[in-house]
């Protein structure tokens, strides 16, 4: 083999490997850098590609660690209505039956887990224990885990990551100690938690350019799979430094509209 073709082969191999590494979408709180992703191994299935072909029902399955249970109320409102309203709004006319829990008795208590912080592999494995569907057929589910610890990235627990979606999968995790330090007000924490869940479900359902192609120029490519609209839940800082500010207008209202029009029309067009 001559030197040039050896080099070309090497380059092709490298690109082949790079193409198989999807982005893990992360939420950051209190970080000023624009880094919001990391590379991980390719998942075995791709949730988004199946989702828009045959889905009849979508169930949000919630599992929580002892001491890290999700909020079920903010002020006088049911907290999980925020998730229900916004995902219904996003999926709009698709005729998908969305099931979201309301009370804690509809969620799974995982007990006290042995470890304090969690890797991607830990999260995938907990979710597997809760997942009821193989997600290839018409009935699908997204698993949302609430953990009493931090996400481990690059071997270190990250104390500012509110939540993540394991890219390409219907697995979401919320890190409760980060929610608890995000505000002094319980109502605000509850809305920050719901906003985090909606943002991560948005990624799991393909936003922005994360499995669903963009139909207008609203991807903030500098910040990965996020939206340029500061009033949209998919805006990168609305999942981090600006989340408290973002949820303010909704605190006293039972109507919490989190997605901007561009994100919604993209899902409609899919
Ligand atoms: Zn994000
Ligand atoms: Zn948007």
Burial 257-266 (b: 16+ CB within 10 A, else e): bbbbebbbeb
Ligand 2 centroid – CA 169 distance (Å): 21
Q: pLDDT over 70 for what percent of the chain?
A: 83
**Is residue 233 predicted with pLDDT exceeding 60?**
yes
Ligand 1 centroid – CA 29 distance (Å): 11
Count CA atoms within 13 Å of residue 209 on its CB side. Answer: 16
Ligand 1 centroid – CA 200 distance (Å): 6
**Collapsing DSSP states into helix, strand and coil, what is residue 232?**
coil
Predicted confidence (pLDDT) per residue in 44-54, tens digit = 468 998 899 99
Domains annotated on the chain, with CATH = 22-269 (3.40.390.10)
Ligand nearest to the backbone CA of 219: 2
Least confident of 2-6, 31-35, 232-236, 256-260: 31-35
Ligand nearest to the backbone CA of 203: 1
Ligand nearest to the backbone CA of 267: 2
**Is residue 56 predicted with pLDDT exceeding 90?**
yes
Ligand 1 centroid – CA 1 distance (Å): 45
Predicted confidence (pLDDT) per residue in 159-171, tens digit = 999 999 998 999 9
**Is residue 31 predicted with pLDDT exceeding 50?**
no
Instruction: Please enumerate in sequence order all residues whose Cβ is within 8 A of that of 12, keeping only pairs 6 or more positions apart, or say none.
Output: none
């Amino acid at each position: 083999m001559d030197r040039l073709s050896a080099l070309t082969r090497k380059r092709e191999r490298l690109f082949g490997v790079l193409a198989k590494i999807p982005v893990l979408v992360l939420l950051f709180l209190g970080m000023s850098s624009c880094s919001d992703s990391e590379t991980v191994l390719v998942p075995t299935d791709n949730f988004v590609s199946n989702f828009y072909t045959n889905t009849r029902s979508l169930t949000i399955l919630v599992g929580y660690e002892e001491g890290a249970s999700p909020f079920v109320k903010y002020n006088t409102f049911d907290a999980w209505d925020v998730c229900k309203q916004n995902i219904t709004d996003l999926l709009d006319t698709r005729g998908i039956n969305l099931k979201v829990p309301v009370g804690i008795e509809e969620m799974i208590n995982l007990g006290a887990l042995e470890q304090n912080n969690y890797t991607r592999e830990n999260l995938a494995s907990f979710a597997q224990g809760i997942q009821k569907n193989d997600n290839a057929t018409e009935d699908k589910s997204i698993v949302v885990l609430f953990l009493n610890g931090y996400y481990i990235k690059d071997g270190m627990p990250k104390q500012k990551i509110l939540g993540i979606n394991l890219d390409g999968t219907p697995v979401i995790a919320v890190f409760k100690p980060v929610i608890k330090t995000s505000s002094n007000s319980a109502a605000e924490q509850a809305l920050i938690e719901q906003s985090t869940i909606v943002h991560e479900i948005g990624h799991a359902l393909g936003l922005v350019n994360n499995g669903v192609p963009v139909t207008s120029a609203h991807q903030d490519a500098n910040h990965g799979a996020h939206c340029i609209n500061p009033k949209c839940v998919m805006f990168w800082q609305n999942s981090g430094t600006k989340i408290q500010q973002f949820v303010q207008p909704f605190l006293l209202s039972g109507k919490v509209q989190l997605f901007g029009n561009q994100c919604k029309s993209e899902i409609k067009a899919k």
